[in-house]
Amino acid sequence: MAETTYIGAITSALADAMRADDRVFVLGEDVAEGGPYTATAGLAEEFGTKRVINTPISEAAITGVAIGAAQSGMRPVLEIMFIDFITLALDQLVNGAAKAHFMSGGQLTVPLVLRTQGGAGHRGAAQHSQSLESWLTHVPGLKVLMPSRPVDAAGLLASAIADPNPVVYIECKTLYFRKGEVPEPTAPVPIGEAATLREGSDVTIVALSRLVGDALEAAGRLAAEDGIEAEVIDPRTLVPLDLETIVESVKRTGRLVVAHEAVEHGGFGAEIAAQVQRAAFDFLDGPVARVGAPFAPIPFSPPLEDAYLPGADEVVAAVRELVRG
Amino acid sequence: MVPPPLGGEQALRLLATMWRIRLFEEQVSLLKRADQVHGLIHSSAGQEGVAAAVCSQLRDADVVYSGDRAHGHSIAKGAPLERVMAELMGRDGGLCRGLGGSMHLVDLEHGFLGATGVVGGNIPIALGSALAARLRGEDTVAVVFFGDGAVQAGHFNETVNLAALWRLPIILVCENNGFAEFTPRSAHTIVERVSDVVAPYGVERATVDGNDAVAVWDAFGRYLASARAGGGPFLLECLTHRLGGHYEGDPGTYREALDAADWQEKDPILRLQRHGIAQRWFEADRPAVLEAEAAEAVEQAVRFGRESPFPPLELIEGLVYADG
């Protein structure tokens, strides 16, 4: 085990996959230079620009290129620099990659990983900060991963590259330089398994990506200030979702708070809430609470952006309301 | 590099393919009216010369992509007629087990990696297959068919830029039938020739009469030989004619039909037959034999389709993800 940043874990997992399998290659804007956050730094030096391919700013075409290469037996890892620009790639991803296996009656497979990153808090305003994961979870054929810790960033990326399906792997720019223990070489983390990061008996908090850290902080405060013991679960993968781990926890705690940075309205929290109430309605002591952003684009002005973003305070407030309610 | 010119046996193979496509499409048109094939059906009748002259020069390992008007391309690339027909009928014996239909035909075994209902959507995907061939050091070539309507889409232009930048072994084959769905090309763009659109990229390009299978054969053969040797990209614009409407059932009120005598002149099948006989490539009675064989094959395909069961309901959620 070594202490590694979240972004460093991604770089190491990419390098490990490229060393292990000649079919793996990386393409995207500025990837040979390492990209804006250094995710691919050093890869071109080790593997050459034949396998670390810079592309023009043509999201639609490079996504199509990655799909075609995958259908022809390669293992492309495509970078879309900001998830905000996945809009330009969605036709290829949704109409192409997600449906190729199904529509061909199982003949085609698209072992493609689309790496991208979202998240606000960096004064990037409304076009460089969004959390758009729920759109992608609505498309049958895609797998959607959202690691929150360095160990999962590495392990899930390894599993995504090995998977025969198109996988959207969503990083969080706020987490890039946070550190955690990561095994060397990369140890794969299975897709579809949640991680229970704190055990508790009073309430279950299911948190995504950046909100996982906030939920753990909130749980600490709730224990110290209110005597409330919260269980914190990171689903890690949204599609497929490990509903069993969440439901098993809710059956013990009787309460559920779902927290994510994305706009609450139509967010993935709604899907978790709906699935849990169907599976564990009789165990719930109150309505499922959701923590998410307001139904508004992300504001630029720093005090407004800070007020807009959900964090530990909002999780604490939601738990208190639920427990006292 | 000069490929072998079209001649005797090869010309007969082309004719056989063209007859199979023509009679297949005519049968599909009838079956659509009888509600035995389903959904949105885009006939390639009249455009057979391009599909046959291009695909019959390719190997199975070369990949072909197409758009929504794809029956002819899949058949020319080697897809069994009966499995194409069964797919249009939504049957388990179809190429895609009835999950894709007319606009999403795929035959992996014969290198037909697929049609798409998104106009131009497969153009960048085809480039990805060309990139894969280059990365693996193979001499396979990627070919993508599209109509002139796709040329005004962003993904076409993005892909041409990338293909030229990376010099990949791809041949872009535009079937310019003058109509983007219901609208003449002149109403969508001021650039009349598709080959002119790619001129600034330095892509090697040509415009040929797509109803002249010999011209398509020669032009495509030169590009193919060059792509095999590491050249590319190329664009071949084939001026052709859609015999029917945009889809089966389209009343086609937006254009004037060719009169029968004009079509006799233009029909790519009759032209190749006249040419082959004049060149003494084959005896005058051979084409009729091919036509009869094609008719028999189409009849057999319809029988196969009708006898094939509909796919099991378990398939709905059973093929969303690949195992592994």
pLDDT in tens, B255-274: 666 677 788 889 999 999 99
List chain B domain ranges.
Answer: 8-309
Q: Does domain B8-309 have CATH number 3.40.50.280?
A: no
Chain CA centroid to CA A152, Å: 10
Task: State the pLDDT at residue B241.
Answer: 82
Residues of A in contact with B129 (CB under 8 A): 68-69, 71-72
Nearest Cα of chain B lies from the Cα of A181 at a distance, in angstroms, of 28
- Under a CB-based contact definition with an 8 Å cutoff, are residues A160 and A169 in contact? yes
Please give the backbone phi and psi of residue B5, each rounded to the nearest 5 degrees, phi first: -70, 160
Instruction: Give the nearest partner residue to B162 out of A58, A95, A143, using CB atoms.
Output: A58
The verdict on a CB contact (< 8 Å) between B320 and A50 is no
As a whole number of angstroms, the distance between CA B207 and CA B153 comes to 20
A&B contacts, CB < 8 Å: 147
pLDDT higher than threshold 80 for residue A10? yes
* Numbered residues of chain A with Cβ closer than 8 Å to any chain B Cβ: 25, 50-51, 55-56, 58, 60-74, 76, 91-92, 95-96, 100-109, 140-141, 143, 163-165
Residues of B in contact with A165 (CB under 8 A): 321-322
Q: How far is residue B229 from each of residues A3, A77, B134, B136, B188, measured CA to CA in Å?
A: 50, 28, 11, 15, 37
Q: Which residues 160-219 of B have a C-beta within 8 angstroms of A?
A: 161-162, 165
Strand pairing category for A237-239 and A143-145: antiparallel
Instruction: Give the nearest partner residue to A69 out of B122, B129, B155, using CB atoms.
Output: B129
- Nearest of A4, A10, A7, A49 to residue A31 by alpha carbon: A49
pLDDT in tens, A286-319: 999 999 999 999 999 999 999 999 999 999 999 9
B321 touches chain A (CB under 8 A): yes
pLDDT higher than threshold 90 for residue B177? no
Give the global pTM.
Answer: 0.96
Mean of pLDDT values over B33-62: 96
Residue B243 — pLDDT band, cuts 50, 70, 90?
A: confident
Residue B1 — pLDDT band, cuts 50, 70, 90?
A: low
CATH number for the domain that contains residue A246:
3.40.50.920
DSSP per-residue letters across A22-75: TTEEEEETTGGGT-TT-TTTTHHHHH-TTTEEE--S-HHHHHHHHHHHHHTT-E
Instruction: Give the nearest partner residue to B322 out of A51, A67, A109, using CB atoms.
Output: A109
Instruction: Give the nearest partner residue to B95 out of A70, A105, A165, using CB atoms.
Output: A105
Q: Is residue A188 part of a domain?
A: no
What percentage of residues in chain B have a pLDDT greater than 90? 84
Place of tokens 């360095």: A150
Q: Is residue A190 part of a domain?
A: no
Residues of B in contact with A52 (CB under 8 A): none
Is A59 an annotated catalytic residue?
yes
| Whether residues A239 and A297 fall in one domain | yes
Nearest Cα of chain B lies from the Cα of A116 at a distance, in angstroms, of 20
What is the pLDDT of chain A when averaged over all its residues? Answer: 97
- Nearest of B144, B129, B124, B120 to residue B234 by alpha carbon: B144
The verdict on a CB contact (< 8 Å) between A58 and B125 is no
| Whether residues A120 and A251 fall in one domain | no
Task: State the pLDDT at residue B242.
Answer: 78
Torsion, CA A108, CA A75, CA A195, CA A147, rounded to 10: -120
As a whole number of angstroms, the distance between CA B104 and CA B84 comes to 11
Place of tokens 């230079």: A33
The verdict on a CB contact (< 8 Å) between A102 and B320 is yes
As a whole number of angstroms, the distance between CA B162 and CA A80 comes to 17
Residue B180 — pLDDT band, cuts 50, 70, 90?
A: low
| Whether residues A174 and A210 fall in one domain | no
Within 10 angstroms of residue B80's Cβ, the number of other Cβ atoms is 18
CATH number for the domain that contains residue A107:
3.40.50.970
- Nearest of B102, B114, B104, B118 to residue B29 by alpha carbon: B102
- Under a CB-based contact definition with an 8 Å cutoff, are residues B47 and B177 in contact? yes
What percentage of residues in chain A have a pLDDT greater than 90? 98
Strand ranges in B68-168 using DSSP code E only, listed in sequence order: 112-114, 142-147
Instruction: Give the nearest partner residue to A65 out of B96, B128, B136, using CB atoms.
Output: B128
pLDDT higher than threshold 70 for residue B181? no
Q: What are residue B143's DSSP bridge partners?
A: B64, B171
The verdict on a CB contact (< 8 Å) between B100 and A70 is no
B60 touches chain A (CB under 8 A): no
pLDDT in tens, A16-46: 999 999 999 999 999 999 999 999 999 999 9
Q: In chain A, how many domains are there? A: 2
Q: Is residue A98 part of a domain?
A: yes
- In a 13 Å sphere around the CA of A202, the CA atoms on its Cβ side amount to 14
Is A33 an annotated catalytic residue?
no
- Nearest of A185, A213, A210 to residue A198 by alpha carbon: A213
The verdict on a CB contact (< 8 Å) between B321 and A141 is yes
Nearest Cα of chain A lies from the Cα of B146 at a distance, in angstroms, of 15
B316 touches chain A (CB under 8 A): no
Place of tokens 């040419």: B275
Where is the domain boundary, A152, A182, A212? A182
Per the model's pLDDT, the better-predicted residue between B22 and B181 turns out to be: B22
From the list A29, A59, A171, A271, the catalytic residue is: A59
Residues of A in contact with B93 (CB under 8 A): none
Task: State the pLDDT at residue B151.
Answer: 94
| Whether residues A65 and A138 fall in one domain | yes
| Whether residues A153 and A17 fall in one domain | yes
DSSP A152: H
- Nearest of A249, A273, A257, A241 to residue A310 by alpha carbon: A257
Where is the domain boundary, A155, A182, A209? A182
Q: What's the complex ipTM?
A: 0.95
**H/E segment holding residue B184:** strand B183-184
B137 touches chain A (CB under 8 A): no
Instruction: Give the nearest partner residue to A68 out of B96, B118, B124, using CB atoms.
Output: B124
Task: State the pLDDT at residue B281.
Answer: 95
Residue-level length of chain A: 325
Instruction: Give the nearest partner residue to B155 out of A64, A76, A106, using CB atoms.
Output: A64
Q: Closest residue of B to A105, CA-based?
A: B96
The verdict on a CB contact (< 8 Å) between A60 and B106 is no
Where is the domain boundary, A131, A154, A182? A182
- Under a CB-based contact definition with an 8 Å cutoff, are residues B39 and B248 in contact? no
As a whole number of angstroms, the distance between CA A270 and CA B277 comes to 70
As a whole number of angstroms, the distance between CA B17 and CA B15 comes to 5
Which of A72, A75, A94, A145 to probe the B interface (max B CBs under 10 A)? A72
The verdict on a CB contact (< 8 Å) between B322 and A101 is yes
Q: Closest residue of B to A162, CA-based?
A: B324
Nearest Cα of chain A lies from the Cα of B62 at a distance, in angstroms, of 11
Residue A66 — pLDDT band, cuts 50, 70, 90?
A: very high
From the list A29, A128, A260, A314, the catalytic residue is: A128
Per the model's pLDDT, the better-predicted residue between A75 and B242 turns out to be: A75
Q: Is residue A299 part of a domain?
A: yes
- Under a CB-based contact definition with an 8 Å cutoff, are residues B220 and B171 in contact? yes
DSSP A218: H
Within 10 angstroms of residue A66's Cβ, the number of other Cβ atoms is 36
Collapsing DSSP to helix, strand or coil, A292 comes out as: strand
The verdict on a CB contact (< 8 Å) between A68 and B108 is no
Q: Closest residue of A to B61, CA-based?
A: A72
Nearest Cα of chain B lies from the Cα of A63 at a distance, in angstroms, of 8
Q: What is the span of the domain harbouring residue A282?
A: 195-324
Q: How far is residue A113 from each of residues A67, B225, B273, measured CA to CA in Å?
A: 10, 34, 50
The verdict on a CB contact (< 8 Å) between A58 and B126 is no
- Nearest of B287, B278, B279 to residue B15 by alpha carbon: B287
What percentage of residues in chain B have a pLDDT greater than 70? 98
What is the pLDDT of chain B when averaged over all its residues? Answer: 94
pLDDT in tens, A143-196: 999 999 999 999 999 999 999 999 999 999 999 999 999 998 889 999 999 999
Q: Is residue A187 part of a domain?
A: no
The verdict on a CB contact (< 8 Å) between B118 and A141 is no
Instruction: Give the nearest partner residue to B121 out of A91, A105, A143, using CB atoms.
Output: A91
Q: Closest residue of A to B121, CA-based?
A: A92
- Under a CB-based contact definition with an 8 Å cutoff, are residues A242 and A235 in contact? yes
| Whether residues A109 and A42 fall in one domain | yes
pLDDT in tens, B91-133: 999 999 999 999 999 999 999 999 999 999 999 999 999 999 9
